[in-house]
Amino acid sequence: NKKAFIFDLDGVIVDTAKYHFLAWQKLAQELGIEFTPEHNEELKGVSRVRSLDIILELGGIQASQEDKNKWLIQKNEDYLSYLVDIDESEILPGVLPVLHYLKDKNQLIALGSASKNARPILEKTGIINLFDAIVDGNDVSNAKPDPEVFLQAAKKLGATNENSIVFEDSVAGIQAANIANMTSIGIGEATTLYEAKYIFKDFTFIDVSFIESLIN
């Protein structure tokens, strides 16, 4: 029995959400906008362009397209500066055992991320070869909760939506998986991710018998 396991990146495989936060916070500070960790929850799984709009709305700032483009470049450069030295230690606890278990069981594995920086992150953390397909922010035109990213991933793997399982840390991503009729697994707080079919605080709470139940 072969199933398609589709993983989100930021907040599921790697702990890069904290670097997105730092880079956005730096920009917000320069623009005189207060930007807290609570505000940051709204940016999870959301595209770069939309994230900036959310921050500008917070500050009540109207900006020209030219300024927005400049800030988007600046934010990404700051974000990338945090990624220069990352390695496999950035992978969240419990993730590698699950990836390796799925590989051992000949299951299909894909990435389904909104990030345009996904490939370099998978390379630096040394896990890019575990993925049978990669769909990221460079491939899709509709952001989560639109299911496009997961539909493309399942298609690349040759799997039906019903045989696809999605791991997500964002509300928008869980909604996208549900819309696509895929099995949604939330990684994080049940109070936030209650729309998911299953919820685990992190991958250390996922055991072999649960993965087996998904395969069979």
Catalytic residue annotation: 8, 10
Residue 17's nearest CA partner among 127, 135, 114, 109 is 114
User: Which residues, numbered 44-63, are part of the site for ligand B16 (CB under 6 A)?
Assistant: 44-48, 51
Structure tokens, 126: 């040394």
Residue 109's nearest CA partner among 149, 144, 153, 148 is 153
Which string of x and - marks every residue 163-202 that binds Mg ion (by CB under 5 A)?
A: ------xx--------------------------------
* Minimum CB–partner distance for residue 59 and Mg ion (Å): 24
Q: Which member of 5, 10, 110, 172 binds Mg ion (CB under 5 A)?
A: 10
User: Which residues, numbered 95-124, are part of the site for ligand B16 (CB under 6 A)?
Assistant: 113-117
Q: Could you tell me if 49 and 72 are in contact, meaning their C-beta atoms sit under 8 angstroms apart? A: yes
Q: Could you tell me if 179 and 145 are in contact, meaning their C-beta atoms sit under 8 angstroms apart? A: yes
| Nearer of residues 88 and 212 to ligand B16, judged by Cβ | 88
Distance of alpha carbon 138 from alpha carbon 56, whole angstroms: 24
| Nearer of residues 11 and 147 to Mg ion, judged by Cβ | 11
Residue 59: how many CA atoms within 13 Å on its side-chain side? 20
Which string of x and - marks every residue 144-183 that binds ligand B16 (by CB under 6 A)?
A: --------------------------x-------------
Q: Could you tell me if 137 and 114 are in contact, meaning their C-beta atoms sit under 8 angstroms apart? A: yes
> Interface with ligand B16 by CB under 6 A: which residues?
8-11, 20, 43-48, 51, 76, 113-117, 137, 170
